[in-house]
Amino acid sequence: MIESWRWYGEYDTIALSEVAQTGAREIVTALHDIPYGEVWQIDAIAARKAQIQNAGFEWNVVESLPVHERIKRGEGDLAQLFANYRQSMANLAAEGIKTICYNFMPLLDWTRTDLAAPVSTGATCLRFDAVKMAAFEINILGRRAAEDDYPEDVRQRAVAWFQKSTATERDNLLAAIMAGLPGAFERFDVAGLRNVLESYKHIDREALRANYRRFLQEVVPTAEELGMRLCVHQDDPPRDILGLPRIVSNGADLDWVLDAYDSPANGVTLCAGSLGANPDNDVPAIAAKVAERIHFVHLRNVRKDPNGSFEEADHLGGDTDMVALVRVILQEEARRRDIGRSDHEIPFRPDHGHHMLSDLARDLIPGYPLIGRLRGLSELRGVIRALSY
């Protein structure tokens, strides 16, 4: 398994010289300053690659080449957006970058209600609190249909939280939810979020699937021609939210994705944390079923509450059997090696991590600390080494 590290380029306060001390071999990144839908020019790709190589790393996985919201909505003439996506793929391939992680989540890349929830050690973590989310949807956003999305006890506690909350607490809740909006180009206030959600009001699960199938039909043939691999990230959290349908949340959804365009170029970014937030998901079993199409792996763990809340746990300390999951990945690598594939190693990265120690005083991207991910990488490295004997 290839140790990698997600890095946000010019938006990241963690320097590549610090990442070098983690022992990671590769950097996973993107051109985060380019607005969605525009072409990634080859000179910009080459400059980022040179920056990474000069720091002693390789860049083989893009995370992410984003899918424009109009494509997700199937809105208007999409020919130019698809052409731009394919051109960006070609430009990446010209620089030797052949794996593209992406998602098909409407509007939000991920959703949390707390960016610095305390844990018992004195560190902090990302948390999704079902009560706060219900309060936001029902009492702040005013989405009355949300009442059907939460059980009665959660709704009652949501009302109590809202009535006791201060303006600052409500603002902080909105800021935490907006932190999941992709890119650096727009954040919404409550009125703005209501407006943008209106653009999805006619998009149900089947409509989103139809738009996703069209995306695959438009781009997977290009990936095949270029020798590239596309790998979809699972929904985070793996449930409908804000009235938006989620269609990549469990094993059955992944089966649909892989069948929608049956090609080795149409694959999976296996995210242990996203899948693990759904109590019905057996993450190692799902990984074993789609193993041949796993092109990239995110290893993190979550601890779930009965009411639908969850928070980031230690990499080896959450609800998912991480040792069993790593064993599945190693077995797939061995299968690929046995059939003669020179690219049998699967890149992974320690995903998220607790903010701890000196990181608590640093201005870091939520969920992407230095020390917490280093701890996770070290623990995972030990599991991989032990299972490799």
> Which of the two residues, 254 and 183, has the higher pLDDT score?
254
What does the pLDDT look like over 113-137, one tens digit per residue?
A: 999 999 999 999 999 999 999 999 9
Give yes or no: residues 98 and 166 share one domain. Answer: no
**Which pLDDT does position 183 carry in this prediction?**
55
Tell me the C-alpha distance between 322 and 377, whole Å.
12
* Residue-wise burial string across 132-162, b where 16 or more C-beta atoms lie within 10 A, e elsewhere: bbbbbbbbbbebeebeebbeeebbebbeebb
pLDDT digits (tens, 9 = 90+) for 63-109: 999 999 999 999 999 999 999 999 999 999 999 999 999 999 998 88
Residues 60 and 36 placed together within one structural domain of the fold: yes
Active site residue 11: no
pLDDT in tens, 220-244: 999 999 999 999 999 999 999 999 9
What whole-number distance in Å separates Cα of residue 369 and Cα of residue 244? 29
- Looking at the structure, tell me whether residues 8 and 126 fall in a common domain: no
Cα-to-chain-centroid distance, residue 363: 21
| Residue in 68, 233, 354, 355 annotated catalytic | 233
Structural domain count of the chain? 2
Q: Are residues 143 and 259 in the same domain?
A: no
Mean pLDDT in residue range 301-323: 97
**HEC profile of 131-182:** HHHHHHHHHHCCCHHHHHHCCHHHHHHHHHHHHHCCHHHHHHHHHHHHCCCC
Question: Do 305 and 273 fall into the same domain?
Answer: yes
Q: For residues 40 and 146, what is the distance between their CA atoms, to the nearest angstrom? A: 38
Residue 14 sits in the same domain as residue 73: yes
Q: Are residues 153 and 273 in the same domain?
A: no
Handedness of CA 135, 137, 142, 143 (dihedral sign): negative
Residue 357 sits in the same domain as residue 216: yes
Q: How confident is the model at residue 356 (pLDDT cuts 50, 70, 90)?
A: very high
Residues 105 and 135 placed together within one structural domain of the fold: no
pLDDT (mean) for 171-187: 80
Decide which of 198, 226, 258 is a domain's last residue.
198
Residues 295, 352, 354, 355: which is the catalytic one? 352
Residue 358: other Cβ atoms inside 10 A: 10
Which of 198, 230, 265 is the last residue before a domain boundary? 198
In the three-class reduction of DSSP (H, G, I as helix; E, B as strand; rest coil), residue 33 is classed as coil
Catalytic residue, chosen from 235, 253, 351, 359, is 351
> Is residue 352 among the annotated active site residues?
yes
* Section 196-214 average pLDDT: 96
User: How far is the C-alpha of 26 from the C-alpha of 349, rounded, in Å?
Assistant: 9
What is the residue range of 359's domain?
A: 2-110+203-387
96 and 119 co-located in one domain: no
> Residue 377 belongs to a domain with what CATH number?
3.20.20.150
Residue 278 has pLDDT above 70, yes or no: yes
Query: Is 8 among the catalytic positions?
Result: no
In this predicted structure, what is the pLDDT of residue 160? Answer: 98
Segment 302-323 shows an average pLDDT of: 97
Does 329 lie in the same domain as 194?
no
Put simply, whether the predicted model's pTM sits higher than 0.85 gets the answer yes
pLDDT in the model for residue 186:
67
Half-sphere exposure of residue 198, counting CA atoms within 13 Å on the CB side?
Answer: 8
Nearest to 245 by CA among 37, 72, 77: 72
pLDDT, position 279 = 96
Among candidate residues 32, 68, 295, 298, the one labeled active-site is 298
Residue 182 has pLDDT above 80, yes or no: no
* From 212, 235, 271, 314, the catalytic residue: 271
Catalytic site residue 68?
A: no
Q: Which of the four pLDDT bands, split at 50, 70 and 90, describes residue 184? A: low
181 and 249: one domain? Answer: no
**Single residue among 143, 167, 198 that ends a domain in this structure:** 198
Q: Please determine, for residue 266, whether its predicted confidence score (pLDDT) is greater than 90.
A: yes
Higher pLDDT, 178 or 129: 129
pLDDT digits (tens, 9 = 90+) for 12-58: 999 999 999 999 999 999 999 999 999 999 999 999 999 999 999 99
Per-residue DSSP letter, 93: H
pLDDT of residue 185: 58
